[in-house]
Every structure is written in C-alpha cells, then in structure tokens.
C-alpha cells in the first residue's frame, strides 16, 4: 500500500500541466502514488501526461487514466478515488502546483495527529501576484470534531473553505463512502463534499502548512465562464440543504447552510452581467425556485441578517412566480 495517493484531474491545461507535473516530481517518493486523470482533453494535455507518467515512474508510483468522454471535475476525482491505493489521499488540480517537499510534510502531519483528515492554508496565484488564504479556523495542530467547525452561522467557517486539495484524508473515510463527489456536478462540486466531510468524519485538524499554489484567473476555468454549467451551484446547494436537513442536528446546522446558499445566490445575481442573456434569465428563475424550496423559517432569519442590497434581491425573488420547470 502506498503511503499517499495524489489524485490530479486534467482537462485542456496544456499551458499549465508541465508546471503541475514538475511540482509532483519535486515531491516524489517511492511511497507516493500519483494518479493522473485526463478528463478527455482536446488539446495536447494527453500527450504531456503520457510522457510525464513514464518520466515520473522512476521516482514514484504512477497511474495514468484517460476518460473516453468528458465528465467534469467531480467525476474525474471519483475516477481517481476508485483507483487510489494509498493509506492517505489528497488532491491537486491540473493547473495548480505544489511547493517542493510539501507532500512529505502533509504525510508527517497526518501521522502525528492521527485524525480522519487535515486542512491546510494555501497560496492564491494571480499572474505574478501571491496572497495567502487561510483556513477560517483558529485552533491549529489539535484534533477535534469537524462538526464544531461548521458554526457559527454569521461568519466564515471551515465548510466555507471548500477546497478539496487543501488538505489530506485518511483512507478510512474512503472506505466509509465519505470522500466521493456527486458525479456530474460541473461547478461547486466541493460544497456538498465539504459539508458531508464535516458532518460524517469524527476528527480533523487544521495545520499551518503552505504548499499548494492555486492558480486564479485561468481563462478555461468555470469560474471565468458564464455559461449554463455555472448553474450547477443550485444543484450542489440543494444537496447540502437536503442532506443537512436529514442530519441529527438539523435544527442547529440548517441555518448556516441556508445562509450560505443565500449568500451564493446573491453573489451570482450581483454578477449576472457575465452570464449569457439566456443563462442570466435561467439563473433568476432557478434561484427563485430554490428560495421557495428552502426551509422558510431559516430563510427568513437569513434574510434579516443580510445587508439591505443582498436581502432586497432575494426578497424580490421570493415574491416571484416561478414556472413548474425551474427546478435545478
């Protein structure tokens, strides 16, 4: 069994993949397994990965898997999870990169703490600019219940730091069915996943390691594209609400889930100019339907707590008559 499996999905990232692969080599260990998943790229990414898989096999265990059709990031990560053999697991996106030696530090932290998973800070890279993004949890290098890190509702918490690659996870979570993503989600795939992780895992810790460089502003990233795939955030947050409503502590946790959902809807409405006109109309219609599906008591409390601009946008949607086909 490898000590660590690193799952790296790639899709049309020929410009960035060499940096990603170079950083893997600088972290390589014969006890590490690199799982390279090409999600049916249409550029030179597959050829780059084929060469890299051969090159990396001298310094680590490597598996290269190519999808016959594009399934999205969530599905590509699931392919990697199904193939992974490691005691620990982590993720990296195909346009990001790692600092040398970071993976060894990650393994050492999990060995030391013995918890189900750990979360790490990361560096956001926009062109030549660099900024540190920290896990919004004050307790460091101490294992405790991830449920404690979901609340409070009124500020950013661990479930809002929804980056699967910012941490590492013990295999027992995979064996319990906690680590898989919702197949087919084309955006916000980390949101149901991070909530499930915090509800169902027994222990976690936040560690002050900086080693993941997250590349912002990539033109091919879904966060930069205003097409219909962006609307999958509604399906993702509907899942968060549904699963949290079934939790044993639903009364305590649902207000946080609803408030976050409202904030995300308001964010997209404030930026609807970047969507294609037909998608912007669909965004308003689907958001109005989503608001009507939310637990209304929790929704009312969330709207009261929001600033006037965002609250007004959502109240107008709440009053809107929605067609029957507006579900996510």
61-66 and 32-38 beta bridge pairing:
parallel
Per the CB < 8 A criterion, the answer to whether 260 and 152 are in contact is: no
Give the position of tokens 């490691």.
Answer: 86
Q: Of 170, 187, 215, at which residue does a domain stop?
A: 215
* Predicted local confidence at residue 227, as pLDDT: 81
Residue 221 lies in a domain: no
Residue 159 lies in a domain: yes
> 3-state SS of 283-305?
HHHHHHHHHHHCCHHHHHHHHHH
User: What is the chain's mean pLDDT, rounded?
Assistant: 95
- 223 pLDDT higher than 80: no
182 and 87, same domain (yes or no):
yes
Residue 222 lies in a domain: no
- 224 pLDDT higher than 60: no
Residue 50 lies in a domain: yes
Angle, helix 45-56 to helix 17-25, in steps of 10 degrees: 10
User: Considering only CA atoms, which of 96, 217, 113, 224 is closest in space to residue 166?
Assistant: 96
Q: How many domains does the chain have?
A: 2
- 220 pLDDT higher than 80: no
Q: Which domain holds residue 12?
A: 4-215
* Predicted local confidence at residue 5, as pLDDT: 98
34 and 137, same domain (yes or no):
yes
**E strands present in 103-180:** 117-126, 129-133, 167-170
Angle, helix 277-293 to helix 250-270, in steps of 10 degrees: 160
Per the CB < 8 A criterion, the answer to whether 122 and 90 are in contact is: no
- 218 pLDDT higher than 90: no
- 11 pLDDT higher than 90: yes
Token readout for 59 is 């310094």
Interval 245-267: pLDDT, tens:
999 999 999 999 999 999 999 99
Residue ranges of the alpha helices (H) in the chain? 17-25, 45-56, 73-83, 102-113, 171-175, 190-200, 232-245, 250-270, 277-293, 296-305, 308-319
Torsion angle, CA of 84/87/93/95, rounded to 10 degrees?
-100
250 and 275, same domain (yes or no):
yes
Asked if the peptide bond before residue 32 counts as cis, ω within 30 degrees of 0, the response is: no
Segment 121-140 shows an average pLDDT of 97
* Predicted local confidence at residue 320, as pLDDT: 82
Residue 327 lies in a domain: no
161 and 292, same domain (yes or no):
no
32 and 178, same domain (yes or no):
yes
Indicate the SS3 state at residue 76.
helix
How far, CA to CA in Å, does 156 sit from each of 50, 66, 148, 153, 159?
41, 37, 13, 8, 8
Question: Which region holds residue 141: left if phi is over 0, alpha if psi is between -120 and 50, else beta?
Answer: left
């Amino acid at each position: 069994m490898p000590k660590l499996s690193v799952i790296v999905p790639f899709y049309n990232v020929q410009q960035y993949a060499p940096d990603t692969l170079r950083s893997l080599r600088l972290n390589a260990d014969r006890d590490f397994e690199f799982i390279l998943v090409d999600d049916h790229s249409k550029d030179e990414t597959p050829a780059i990965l084929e060469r890299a898989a051969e090159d990396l096999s001298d310094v680590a265990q490597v598996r290269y898997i190519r999808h016959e059709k594009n399934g999205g990031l969530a599905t590509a990560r699931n392919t990697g999870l199904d193939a992974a053999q490691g005691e620990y697991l982590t993720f990296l996106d195909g346009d990001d990169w790692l600092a040398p030696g970071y993976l060894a530090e990650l393994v050492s932290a999990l060995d030391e703490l013995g918890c189900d998973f750990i979360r790490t800070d990361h560096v956001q890279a926009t062109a030549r600019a660099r900024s540190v993004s920290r896990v919004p949890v004050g307790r460091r290098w101490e294992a405790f219940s991830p449920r404690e890190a979901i609340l409070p509702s009124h500020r950013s918490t661990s479930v809002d730091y929804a980056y699967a690659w910012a941490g590492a996870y013990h295999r027992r979570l995979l064996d319990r069915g906690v680590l898989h993503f919702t197949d087919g989600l084309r955006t916000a795939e980390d949101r149901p996943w991070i909530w499930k992780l915090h509800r169902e895992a027994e222990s976690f810790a936040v560690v002050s390691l900086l080693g993941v460089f997250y590349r912002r502003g990539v033109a091919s990233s879904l966060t930069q594209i205003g097409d219909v795939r962006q609307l999958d955030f509604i399906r993702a947050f509907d899942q968060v609400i549904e699963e949290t409503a079934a939790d044993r502590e639903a009364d305590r946790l649902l207000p946080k889930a609803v408030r976050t959902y409202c904030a995300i809807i308001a964010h997209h409405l404030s930026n609807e100019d970047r969507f294609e006109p037909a998608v912007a109309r669909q965004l308003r219609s689907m958001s109005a339907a989503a608001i009507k599906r939310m637990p209304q008591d929790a929704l009312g409390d969330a709207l009261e707590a929001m600033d006037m601009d965002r609250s007004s946008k959502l109240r107008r949607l709440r009053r809107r008559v929605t067609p029957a086909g507006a579900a996510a």
